[in-house]
Amino acid sequence: MKLDVRLFAQARDLAGAEHVSVELPDSSTVADLREALAAQFPQLAPLSPNLLIAIGTDYASDETVLSPDADIACFPPVSGG
């Protein structure tokens, strides 16, 4: 399945794009997406383990199964005070 992924903040800057396409087998999980992003965009590899990945309006765990029509967004961890 082909997934459209929106990237924000440092993830967008490192990938050089706001939207990226990732090809994954059916029934892939968020963990599979992390690996694919790091492989397809090596500059994201250091950030990949800590990316916050949202499906629709909810953050997803690594075990969440993805669907081709999922609205996927990736955010780097946020710090502040």
Q: Characterize the bridge pairing of strands 2-7 and 19-23.
A: antiparallel
Overall pTM surpassing 0.85 (yes/no):
yes
Residue 62 lies in a domain: yes
Kindly report, residue by residue over 22-59, the tens digit of the pLDDT.
999 999 999 999 999 999 999 999 999 999 999 999 99
State the residue range of the domain holding 19: 2-75
54: closest CA among 25, 14, 11? 11
* Token reading at 45: 């590899």
The CATH number that applies at residue 54 is 3.10.20.30
Residue 32 lies in a domain: yes
Residue 81 lies in a domain: no
Q: Tell me the mean pLDDT in the region 56-64.
A: 96
Q: How confident is the model at residue 80 (pLDDT cuts 50, 70, 90)?
A: low
Task: Round to whole Å and give the CA distance between 78 and 81.
Answer: 10
Residue 16 has pLDDT above 80, yes or no: yes
Residue 39 lies in a domain: yes
Residue 78 has pLDDT above 80, yes or no: no
For residues 53 and 60, the answer to whether their CB atoms sit within 8 Å is yes
Can you give the pLDDT at residue 35?
96
Residue 21 lies in a domain: yes
Residue 81 has pLDDT above 90, yes or no: no
Residue 80 lies in a domain: no
